[in-house]
Each structure stands twice: as C-alpha cells, then as structure tokens.
Structure 1
Amino acid sequence: MRRLPLTSALVVLILTLSVVSRALWDPLLGRPLHASVTYGLPALEDGSWWTVVVGAFFAVKPYQYVPILLGLVAFGGFAEWRLGTRRTAIALLSCHVVAVLGTAGLLWLTRHHGYVWTTGLARVRDAGPSAAFLGAAAAASVTLSPPWRGRLRTLLVAYVVLFVIHMGSLADVEHVVGVAFGLWLGPYLVGRSPSFTTRQLTRRDFRLLACAFFVVAAFEVILHPFTHAEGPFAVTMSAQARAKELADAGLVFGLVQVVLWVWLARSLYKGRRRAWRWAVALLVAVLAVQVANYGWMVVVGEPGLLAAGWDIFGNCVGLSVLLVGRHAFRNPSPRRARRTSGSLVAPADDDQRTRATAMLEEHGTVNRLAWMTTWPENRWFVPATQRGYVAYRVHTGVAIGLCDPVAATEVERSSLLAEFADAVHGQGLVPCLFTVTQEASQHARALGWHSLQVAEEACIGLATLDFVGKAWQDVRTALNQAARLGVHLRLGALADMPRGLQLQVKAISSDWVEDKGLPEMGFTLGGVDEALDPRVRVGLAVDPDMTVHGVTSWMPFHASGGGEPAGWTLDVMRRLPGGFRYSMEFLIASACLAFRDEGCSVVSLSGAPLARSNDGDDDASLDRGTLDAFLDRLGASLEPYYGFRSLHAFKSKFQPQHEPLYLVFPDEAALPRIGLALSRAYLPEAGVRDLVTLARSGHR
C-alpha cells in the first residue's frame, strides 16, 4: 500500500461502494441506482453526465467485480509502479473518460445506419474501470525497454481486438478506444512526443510472429462458440446455436484444431523447417476453401460476408509472415525422412547434428572455434569413411565451409578438405572455408587454392596467468570493484540455471539486438539459442539481488585426438545497459581463473570478424584488391553497429596471443560471389534498405 497508494485506495473504494450499494451481491440492472451510476450513450442523452466518472466505481453484475478488481491490481498496479502515482492518476482518468465519451460518440455516429451491432450497443449502459486500467497499462508500456515494450503492447492490442471481434460488447469497444488512447498518451507522460519507428525484423521476430499467429488461431477456435450473433461480424446463427452445434458435432474437430495450431506454434517458435512447410500448406488449403466459400456466399446472397472476409484477411496475414520470413525457419527436422541423400544443398536433420557433435568430441580438431560447426543451421559433409566432417552453409551458389575440417589427424583433415572440394565442385557450387587456422591454409595452398587473413583469434595461456603488473590494471580494477559490490561469477549450463536468471539473460540479449540499426548477425556469431546447449557453459555476473549484469558463453574446445575439453572459447558477450560497468572484464577474468583451476590449458577469446592487426601469412601470389577492399569496407561499415574492431581492441586488455584466421578458396574469379555469400551468411535477413545503410555509412 505504501508503494502503490493510488491502486490500493481505488480497490478499497470500489469494494466499499459495492457493499454500501449492495451491488456486490444484488445486480444493478432493474434497480433505480442503475440509471444513476451506469454510463453510455443513453446516459449522456438523458443528461446524466456525472455517470462518466461515477460509473467507474461500480459493476453492472456481481461476478464482474472479480475481473475488475484483479485487473485493477495487475494493470493499474503495473502502471503506478512504472509511472508513479500522479501520472497514473492522469492516465486512469483520461483513458476512462476518452474511452467512454469516444465510444459514445462512435455509436452516436453509426447507429440507425443499418449496422445492427452499433445500433444495439447505442442502447446499452455499462460500468467499471476496465478501460481505464487497460489504457493506463498501455501508457505505462512506454517505460519498458525492448523487447518487453513491444510484447506488452502486442498482448494488449491482441486481447482487445480479439474480444471486440468475438464478444462485441460495449465494454470491449471501450477497451479498444482506451488502449489506443493510452498508447498515444504514454510518451507525453514521460516528456516526449509519440513517434512511430520501424526496424528490420530478425529471425526471432519472424518466429515469434508466426508462433503468435497460430496461438491466436487456437484461441479463436476456443472463442468461436461464444461469438455473439449481434457482434461486429454477425452471422446467421445465434450464440446458443453455435454452442449446440459444437457440443453435438464440432467438439472433436475443434479440439483437433486447437492441438494442431498449438503444435505448429511451438515448432515454428523453434524455427523448424518441417513445421514451416506444414503451416504454409495448411494455410494455402484453408484459404482455397475460404475463398471458394466466400464466392458461393456472394452468389447466393448468404449473410456473414464480413466475418468470412475477416477470416480470409487474417489467414493471408499469417501466410505472408511465413513466406516473407521463410529464412527464419531453417532448423532441421528431428526426423531423417525429409533428408535428400547425396545433395549438398539438401536440409540437414538433428541426427546429422548429433553425429557431428559426437565426432567432434571423439576426434577433436585444431581449430578452437570448432564448436560453431555443431550449430543447427549448418549442413555437414561426411565422407563414406565416417572419420570426420566439414560443416558448411550454402549461399548464392557458394558452399562456405566453417572452420577447419574435423578429424583426429592432420592427414585426415587434409584429405577431408580435398574430398569436400571435389563434392562441392561436382554439384556446380563454389567451395571455400572461412575462419580456418594456418594448418588448413597450408593444406589449401597445396591444392592450388589461395588464402586471405580475415580475422585474428585472441588466445590466453592459463598456465602462467596471474594478472600481475601494470598491463593488467584494468582487469584487477574490475575484479576489485566486483568484490566491493558483491558481484560474483555464476558459471554453468544456462539450461540448468534458475528460470529467473534465464529470463534475464534472454531480456539482455533481446535488448542488445533491438538497439542495433541492422538485423542480428549469424554465421560465426552465436546468441542465446546457441548458449542453451547443455555442453556450453555460461558465465553470469550476478549481484546479491540476483540481478544479472553481464553474460558470456563459453564453447568447449576438443583438441586433436578428442576427449575432455582442453579449453574454452568465448562466444556471447552482452552487458545489462546501465549495469556493472566492468562486467565483461570481470566475467572473462573470473572464467579464466575458474578454467585454470579445472586444469584447462588455454582460453580463446574467439576472433573478431573483419578485424585484424597484421597481414598474417596471406598467399603472396594473390591479388587481394577485390575481396580485401570489400572486407575492409564491410568491417568499417559494420563498426558503428556491431563494434567488431572495438571488440578486437577490448580483448587486448587480457594480453592475448594473436593467431590469424583465414579464408581459403580455389579461384580468384569467384571472389565477387564469395564476397556476396559471406555478406549473406553474416546478414541473412538484410534487405535492400540495410545494404543501402551499409553503403552510406561506409562512404561517410
């Protein structure tokens, strides 16, 4: 009550008035008090203007007090917590008044024009503060950071729109007006003008949109029997007839629909390719039936065209999301049935990924970044001998191998590279390998290929690590500041950590992605999905209040010969905005000490893409001009957005040894295509506008 005095006072006042007026157990309808405390167009036409405010403290029926009080506590309390008491009072009052008067005005304009729904609502009275607290919550959403701001707004809008469509009561219309006004009012309450901004949708956005579409579809199936015949999309059957039809014949079909939509929603959220195909096929089939039915209704003059048109429009939106965002649904199916044997462009499956992971753990390799080869969006070339593999992705006719071939010996790795090249050439593709070590670079040159340094890997030897001397001053400061503030390292599998910590990690990651001016990058850069692998260890900077200030993830490195991890490789680095300033220095230094105590010999801080401090051991015969200029321009253009070169400089605080990483390829004539394939690999979701942005920033 001290923290939320306004919400507490309103709850007490509404409960007190419900007892005094006996409305808590005796419905207002049919009593003289009904005309004095209920608002709506009839009340305003009767001159009862005070009902606009007074009606907010009552409910027409006793059972309505349950959602009113719960909603006031949840939504009103949230608004007061985020906005403060004074601004929440303004939001509640203004949203309620605008919702009531705006709805009354809308009904006054549309009644007696042949629309049965609005004509009927123009004679109805209502009571309660639901439009007030929903609108206030919408206004308070402006104080949230992405992605929570967008998620709350989406939920509020989806709720009010679905209910006004399917229920169509006076309160539902008021909710729509109240939430719309709250969204507009929110920025003014925090001292800025409202603005509408757009950004490129990421893979996660498309997955969430597709998932939300099918969740909404399942919810609509549940609501369908209760849709009122006098609602905005009225049809010929009454609500009672719908319910009877469902009970008599449609219950099983409805349950099957709900289960199917929920399964599709869950699978699409995981980015499953098979679920995407099923979803597209089902929506196309449903749309074909709906369009044919709509045409028949037009021919015979059947009522309900508006409802049928709404269904067609909604399914078209869902299909558009799936088709436009098809690149977000590349994760392989868990079954082998959909794998086309022998094709390098065929989709992989979870069985292949499992075998590749087992080979990496058994045979090992020399590339400390090799765990990236187990990520689900890769494909895997495995020779008939099953002695190793090459992970790769296909873009613009180029098969881009990721890291060195995985095999136990150098001879086997060299042989794998040659077999991979032959297989790729045999299917009309251009082969290349990206971020390989000097060993693979030498093997490639032996095949007549060229090599070009594209990054540097920062490695820390743990045997002599002590953080002593002037060069380690920044690291010591981070450790000392963390100890003073009680910030400690929590190291382990993210999937095994408490749910609250996992949610904070996802929020920090989402916030980091939202702040970028370009889409989320992929290929050699992992995210939360990759960090959830149980064999990946995540380091969290956690304070005594269990607030996560920073996140790092560490991929295992299996040295040549396999066995237990010989070291760990840094992948994700993300910090809470406004959190502990030295989070990254603290996390990396603390993890290094923990790994040293476990007996590991080396830690890799990974490579900063498109950043380097020397020319390395490039092929002296190679005319580097075309690709080198492209990579330099791409690196400079991406620097303001992703900070790769700044990251390269940051890692120098840990006094690492720098080892070059290379791109190897067979033919200089393929450099333009390889450059395009690399840009598509890193930015698979980038559109024309993003490329224009890159070009302009690079030119500046």
Structure 2
Amino acid sequence: MAEAAVERTGSGRLRRWWAAVVAVLDGLAKAPATITLVVLFWVLGLGAGGARSWAGMGTQTVAEGRWWTLFTYGVWDYGVFGFAVATALALITMLPAERRLGSGPAVGLFLLCQVAGALLAIAVIELGAATGDPWLATLVGNRTVGPTPGLVGVGLALSASLTALWRRRLRLLLITGTLLFLLYAGEVVDVARTGAALVGLLSGALLLTDRRPLRDVRPLPSSHAETRLLVAVFASVSALGPLITWFTRDTDGPLALYRQLFIGVGSSTASVAAACAGPLAHTQACTNAQVDRALANSPDVFVYWVPVCLIVIVAVGLWRGRRMAWWTAVLLRVVLIAAELRYYFLHRGTAGGPFTFYSILQLCVPASVLLVLILTRRHFRIRVERETALTFLGIAVLAFVVTGAVYIKFAYDARAQFTPVPAFHQVLSDYPKRLVPPAYLPLLGKHLGAFLPVTLHAKALWEFTGPVFWLVVLGGLLVAFWRAAARRRVDNSAEAEQVLLRYGGSTLSWMTTWPGNDHWLSPDGRAAVAYRVVGSTALTLGGPYGDPRARDDAVAEFAAFCDARGWSPCLYSVTEETKDTTDALGWSSLQVAEDTLLLLPDLAFTGKKWQDVRSALNRAGKAGVTAHWHTWPTAPIAVQEQVRALSEEWVADKGLPEMGFTLGGLAELDDPRVRLLVALDEDNRLHGVTSWLPCYEDGVPVGWTLDFMRRGNGAFQGVMEFLIATAALAFKEEGARFLSLSGAPLARMDRGERPAALQRVLDVAGRALEPAYGFRSLLAFKAKFQPTYLPLYLVYPDAAQLPAIANAIGKAYLPHTTPAQMVRLSRRLTAGPHPSAKGSGAGPRR
C-alpha cells in the first residue's frame, strides 16, 4: 500500500506539472505572431551576428536605395543581452497586444511603428546635422539594428485600451525609458525608438480609443498611493540616465556630459600618463589623476555611486509616502542644481559646441523633479516614527565618528606606508575626502588627495573607509523609509462591536471581535471594518459591516483612509455584494473561499439526500451519545479539560502550524456569546465539539456560524454530522434564519466558468495545501448538508500589490510558525494526504 501511495503521489505531482506546462503552451499558442518574431529574432540574430553591415538602418542606407533596411533592422540586435531585453519587451508589449487585438493588427502596428520610427529618426538626424548640432551630426552614417522601436510603439498604442491605472504606469515606464535612452545613450536606435513612441501614442489614440471631445481628454485623478508611485519613478530619472550610459557604454547623448556627477568613471591610463608626464610628475594634477584612477579600480568605487544610490533610496521613501523622504528629495535636487551650475561654470571655457544648451537641458531634469515634488507635496504626509528617525540619526553620527577615528588613528600610525608621507593635519583633512564622491571635490575647490597608499594594509584602510560609512548610512536610511510609519492606535473595538450588534454583517463578522484586529469606523459611525496592517497592506477580515445602506460608501472611505497612510487596502473573504461595489471602483477580485449556508425555516432531514445525516443521528442514539450546550466560561471543568486535551492532541497529531485569522482556536472560545455544542457519551467522554458564532441584527442573533470543530479519537462514526444536525435543529426552534458552515479557504465550487489566470494559480495553491489542511475535503464534507453555496472573494485595487497581499495573508494565517513546523509542512505537501484528513470531521476546522 505504501508503494501505491508513493506512486499515486508521484503521478499526481507529474499531472500538476504537466497541466502547468500545457497552460503555458496554451497561452503562447494564442500569440503566434509574437512567438514567431521572438524565434526569428534569436535564429537570425545568433546565426548572422554580423548582419548589421547589410541589414542595419541608417541615414545613408535609404539614400542609397536600400529601403529594405527599414524592415530588416528589426530582426537583429547587439549581443545576447540585447536579444534578452528585446525578448522580454516583446512578451510585455507584443504578446498582450496580439491577444487583445489579434495577430494581424498587432503585426501591422509593429511594422508601422518600426518603419515610421526609422523614417522619423533619419529625418531628425539629417535636419540636426544640417543645423550644426554636434550630437546628431555624429550619427550621420551610423547604422543600427533592433526591434525595440516597434515594440515600444506597440506598447504605447496598447496603453490606450488599458485602465487608467495601468495606462499611466505603462506610459510612464515606456516614455521615461525612451527619453532617457535618447538623452543619455543617444544612438540611432534611440532616436528611432523616440519616433516610434510618438507614432504608437498617436495610433493608440486614433485606433484604440473612442472618439471623445477634446475637453473630455484630461488627466484623471489618482490616489495618494498611485501619485506617490508615479512621483517616485519620475524622481529616479536623475539616477537612471547615468546608469544607462554605464550599462550600454554609449555616451553620445547630450546629457551624458554630466554623468560623472552621478557615476564616476575614473581616469584612464592614458590620462594619468599625460597628467604625470615629465615635469608634471610632482604636481597636484598628477596626484589627482593617480588618486582618481586608484579609487575607480578599488572597493572605494562604491563612493562614486553614492549619488545614484541616494536618489534610488529616496525614491523608495517617496513611494512609501514618507514626509522625511520628501524633504530629503527636495534638498537633494537643490544640491544637484547647485552642483550642475558649478560644473557648468568650471567647464564652459573648455567645452565646445552647444554646451550651454545641453547644460540648460540637464538643469531641467532636477528642476522639473523639484517642481513636481512641490506640486504633489500634499501626498507625502506620512511621518516616520520618532524613534526610527532618532535611531537613524544616531547611527549616521556614530558611523561618521567611528570610521573617522579608525581612519585617522590607523592611517597616521601607518603614515610611512603612504607616499608621500602625510602629516597629521593631512590625514585629518583627507578623511572627509574619502566620503565625498570624487566628482564633487573639484566643485568644492578641493583636490582629490595629497597622498597614495603603498602597502596592502594602507590600501585596505584607504579604500574601505568610504564604502563602510556609506553602506551603514544608506542602509539605515532605507530601513527608516521602509519601516511602517508612525501609527497612533485608537481602540475602536467597543464602538465597532456596538455597530455589529445593532446592524449585523456577514457570516464572518463576529470574527472581527477577535484579538489582533484594528477597527475603522465610518465618519457617521454606521459602518466599521476590521483590519490588520502587515507591511504596507491593510488586510481586512471580511467586508464592511453595519448599516447596509452605509456599507457601499464605507468601502471607498476605508480605501481613502488606507491611502492617506500609505497602505494598500485588501478586503479578504467578502461577499458578492461587496465585490459588486469594488467592481464599480475598478478593483480586481479572486475567489478565495466558498461559504455554505443552511436556510433554517424550511430545513427538514427528509429524503434520500439526507440519509447520511439521519444515520449519524441514529448512531448517536445507539451509542448513548447526547449533545449538550455550553459556553466556555460556564462549561464544567471536566468538559473544558477534555476540549483542551482534544485540541492539543489534534495539533500535535498534525505537527503543523495552527492557523489563525479566520480560523478560531481555544482562545476564541472564551466568549460568553459564543455557544459550544459537545457530544458526550454515558461516561461523559467527549466524542466531538463544535463552536458557533452569533450573527446579530437589531441586538439579537438571527444566525450562527460554525467555527471550532474537533472530532475525538475513538468517536463514533458521524459525530460531526450529528453535532451539526443537532445545532441546526436547535437554532431552527429558536427562530434563527440561517446557519453557516463557514467558508472553506482555497476551495470553491465548479460553476462551469473558465477561471482567469490568477484564479487558476489560487486553485493550484489549494490543491498543493490539500494534503496538509484538507480544505477541499472539508468542502466536500459540508455538501452532505445540501447547503447554498456563496462565493467569498479577495478584492484589491492594484494587481502590482499581489506579492505583498500574499505575504500579508500568509502572516495573518500563520503568525507564529516555527522553522520546524515549516519543514514538516513542506514534507506533508509532498507526501500526499495525511491519514487523519480522511473521515468525518477529521479534517481542518473550516
């Protein structure tokens, strides 16, 4: 039997893997043009790597009558890295365009943007060369290859058919990237890509959108979170441009003149030789060149990259909505503007051509970022915790003092290992220079250094001082921006409970009274939401509860409440009614559970379909088992001890982390309004236990929800059916309207609809967790009671937050998981169904 089980488990995993492969192939089969382009791209590119000479596009190729280069230049690129980037861009833009528009229109759009972009590039280059522009003049006669112009054009055209959220994001990404490559790399393909981007935008506006009056074409308002994201991306432009020149090694763009203010390139061997030739060997200019080259070829090169790192980290803080990051970003732009002005005045005498025009263009970058920051300042009001800010400040000061003391002390002690041998005041003045990016020292009127290390010990001290200091400071700044913002906790639990008692909610709403939840109240006090913040995600337990007429407005109000605090709202296990509300707001949804409802007024265990339930009631009578109602505080000590022992035994038997959040344990039983139904035999031995959560309306329970469920070892077969049936009959006699068997997480009914891709991923997760927790087995067990199935959903405003949402849900359900439990869980997931998962009521609680 063990071998058969292993074989079944192995074949099951194989089927799941094969199903995943088939799903991927099925998706790719719906985009034949994209796959053909990618395959053709790789085959021709790798098979004819030198084809640029005859297939490349340039100003002269069309003039010479080789018009086909307007088409052929799109199936080659530069090196394997270029092929990989183009392939990724094709999957991001061309594939969704083909699936949305069809193969023919997508290919036509690609060719239109590719060819039109090339023609516009040729026209602009020729015009610029004729007017004497040195940058464009250098591009005359150059040839280029690459499909990225057409792909960028397709992506921007496709953006016209997307929702406002993703339209803004895709356009910001593609337009910003296109302009950065144009202004910093400045190659022929970059000019063609800019032309193709313009063609793509116009094509999308004309072909993929409804005709609207010009007055209706205006920017749509965005949330705080979306504005922060867009501003953060825009603010990182100053760092991304110089990075492009470093990655591509192309420095023809007009703004590449200022790249050394962001990423130093160091002095070349030839420049050092020229600076130290003959009588210049003992000058400060020679020492500067030697220091620059030594730093650029050592770990201290990290200091060259500090401006870029600082810009990126501050952008992360802006994305998180931190006020401290806003002030840092403003100060940083002021410093950059001052540095660029100083750089201009130092080099305008030696620089030729349109250096002044390019300098003005470069100044527009930090100036425009500064303007955007000022205009959007109201979106950055989240304050860093005072303790976090003071800790960062203390760490920065301590790092400066400690690294300075170490450098000055040991460098002076080892001064004989430097050339020329420095005096104490020279070592002291050299310490700040180890921290400042070398490109900024001449702007301050300082030389790069007065001495060089000779020995290994001296080199280690000289080269690592700056990187160690900046790693500590930048790491501390990133942590300060990333950590959760200062949050004043207001205990609204009592008010929220009164709202729940008066108006009621869903079948899960009583769980909002459990520990671990914070509560938001609507301004008029008629609705409430229970939530917990995990990272930057505000995860709710169910939807809004309270006055039914106030629940729809409560969704938008709670979302605004989260948005103002830098959280992304995620409403978990909400009903169809709440989903309809969020659908109107443009949110996305996934079904995460299946609620099972028994309508009590017409309930009767008659007919063949209730045979299992009637059998369980008969077996209980024959076994001498009876059901007894208690609440945990008033239950006999003997019953409490047996329930506690049974629960501990259940957890120990599984050896897995006990789940929380929407799954109650012993702690949640200790509530006088939660009812306990236990099955005891004539010897008062416990066979099973269930707990029932009240669903209130106008101050009285009108329904009950099953929560805690345990089956004792040695219990008679059908004990859980007996307890549930007994509870249903008792609640019916009391006048309750419904009984909920609660939702089974990651399990749902097959309603004959083709699930979306993300829903299929969630279904796979449910199947993967089945051997450990048996959610699907539990749903099948509840089918014995002929329930009405009601889907429960996860709704969220931004699909980009799904990884954070998944992390938040995982931490909510498994907040105290130990490494050993995670190891056992992983083994259980690969070992097949656990024996205890079979049989009535022995599976998970919900």
- The alpha carbon displacement at 1:185 in A equals 0.5
Aligned AA (2:583)? R
Which of 280, 285, 307 is the aligned partner of 1:257? 307
Amino acid at match of 1:28: A
Asked if structure 2 preserves the Cα contact closer than 8 Å seen for 1:59 and 1:65, the reply is: yes
Secondary structure (helix, strand or coil) at the match of 2:384 reads coil
Partner of 1:308: 359
Where does the alignment leave 5 or more consecutive residues of structure 1 unmatched?
Answer: 340-349, 372-401, 404-433, 436-454, 461-490, 506-515, 544-548, 553-572, 606-653, 655-700
The equivalent of 1:345 in structure 2 is none
SS at match of 1:157: helix
Q: 1:117 to 1:539 in 2, by over 3 A?
A: same
The equivalent residue for 1:457 is 526
Pairing 1:443-592 to 2, within 5 Å after superposition: 455=524, 457=526, 495=534, 525-527=560-562, 538-541=571-574, 574-575=582-583
Q: Distance in 1 between matches of 2:499 and 2:350?
A: 65
Aligned mate of 1:230, from 249, 252, 263: 252
* Mapping of residues 350-499 of structure 1, within 5 Å: 356-357=488-489, 360=491, 365-366=494-495, 435=523, 455=524, 457=526, 495=534
Task: State how far apart, in whole Å, the 2-side matches of 1:284 and 1:205 are.
Answer: 25
Task: Specify the SS of the correspondent of 1:574.
Answer: helix
The farther-off stretch of 313-322 and 228-237 is 228-237
1:420 aligned residue: none
Distance (Å, rounded) in 1 between the aligned partners of 2:356 and 2:158: 38
Report deviation, 1:457: 1.7
Q: Does the CA contact (< 8 Å) of 2:94 and 2:155 recur in 1?
A: yes
Paired with 1:78 and 1:104, the residues of 2 have a C-alpha distance of 30
Alignment gaps of 5+ in structure 2: 1-27, 269-291, 391-482, 501-519, 543-552, 599-660, 675-690, 699-737, 739-846
The structural deviation recorded for 1:232 is: 2.9
Task: Say which SS state the counterpart of residue 180 (structure 1) adopts.
Answer: helix
How far did 1:604 drift?
10
TM-superposed CA distance for 1:523, in Å, is 9.2
What SS does structure 2 have at the residue aligned with 1:287? helix
SS at match of 1:72: helix
- The residue number in structure 1 matching 2:34 is 7
In 1, distance between residues paired with 2:258 and 2:587?
A: 59
Alpha-carbon separation, structure 2, partners of 1:146 and 1:289: 38
The answer on 1:174 being equivalent to 2:207 is no
Q: Would you say the 8 A contact 2:71–2:115 is kept in 1?
A: yes
1:200 Cα deviation from its structure 2 partner: 4.0
* Equivalent of residue 280 in structure 1, options 326, 330, 347: 330
Amino acid at match of 2:339: V
Q: 1:215 aligns with which of 215, 218, 236?
A: 236
Report the more deviating stretch, 63-72 or 113-122: 63-72
Instruction: Return closer, same or farther for 1:279/1:521 CA change in 2, 3 Å cut-off.
Output: farther
In structure 1, the residue corresponding to 2:571 is in which secondary structure? strand
Q: Deviations over 1:220-242 (max 9, x none)?
A: 34335566453334649999994
Q: 1:531 to 1:214 in 2, by over 3 A?
A: closer
Q: Does 1:95 align with 2:113?
A: yes
The 3 A distance-change label for structure 1 pair 193 and 117 is farther
- Where does residue 633 of structure 1 map in the other structure? none
1:166-193 superposed Cα distances (whole Å, 9 cap, x missing partner): 1111111111111121111013333634
Q: Contact between 1:7 and 1:76, CA under 8 Å: does it hold in 2?
A: yes
* CA displacement at 1:574 relative to structure 2: 2.1
1:94-152, CA deviations, whole angstroms, 9 ceiling, x for partnerless residues?
11110111111112222233212211212112233221122112111222112111101
Provide the residue aligned with 1:203 in structure 2: 224
Q: Aligned residue for 1:392? A: none
The CA RMSD over aligned residues, in Å, is 5.3
Name the counterpart of 1:671: none
- Structure 1 vs Structure 2: percent identity of aligned residues? 21
Give the counterpart letter for 2:59 in structure 1. Answer: L
Determine helix, strand or coil for the equivalent of 2:491: helix
Q: Is the 8 A contact 1:157 1:179 kept in 2?
A: yes
C-alpha spacing 1:288/1:108, structure 2 compared with 1 (3 Å): closer
1:227 to 1:317, Cα distance in 2 relative to 1, 3 A: farther
**For residue 51 of structure 2, what is the aligned residue in structure 1?**
28
Structure with higher Rg: it is: 2
Q: Deviations over 1:528-547 (max 9, x none)?
A: 676959xx98324599xxxx
Distance 2:527 2:137 in 1: 72
Matched, 1:111 2:129: yes
TM-score (norm 1): 0.51
In the aligned structure 1, how far is the partner of 2:370 from the partner of 2:350?
28
Q: Deviations over 1:615-647 (max 9, x none)?
A: xxxxxxxxxxxxxxxxxxxxxxxxxxxxxxxxx
Q: Distance in 1 between matches of 2:535 and 2:697?
A: 24
Give the structure-2-normalised TM-score.
Answer: 0.43
Secondary structure in 1 matching 2:160:
helix
| Pair 368,283 (structure 1): closer, same or farther in 2 beyond 3 Å | farther
Cα offset, 1:212, TM superposition: 1.3
Give the Å deviation of 1:157: 0.7
Decide which structure has greater helix share: 2
2:141 counterpart of 1:123: yes
* SS of match in other structure, 1:197: coil
Deviation at 1:305, TM superposition (A): 2.8
Q: Does the residue aligned with 1:264 lie in a helix, a strand or coil?
A: helix
Deviations 1:67-100 (A, max 9, x none): 3444334432232123221210121111111011
For these two proteins, the number of residue pairs brought into alignment is: 433
Q: 1:329 aligns with which of 374, 380, 404?
A: 380
- Cα separation, partners in 2 of 1:603 and 1:135, compared to 1, 3 Å: farther
Judging changes above 3 Å, is the alpha-carbon distance between structure 1 residues 238 and 288 closer, same or farther for their aligned structure 2 residues?
closer
Distance 1:229 1:574, change over 3 A: closer
**One-letter identity of the residue aligned with 2:58:** G
CA distance in 1, matches of 2:375, 2:365: 16
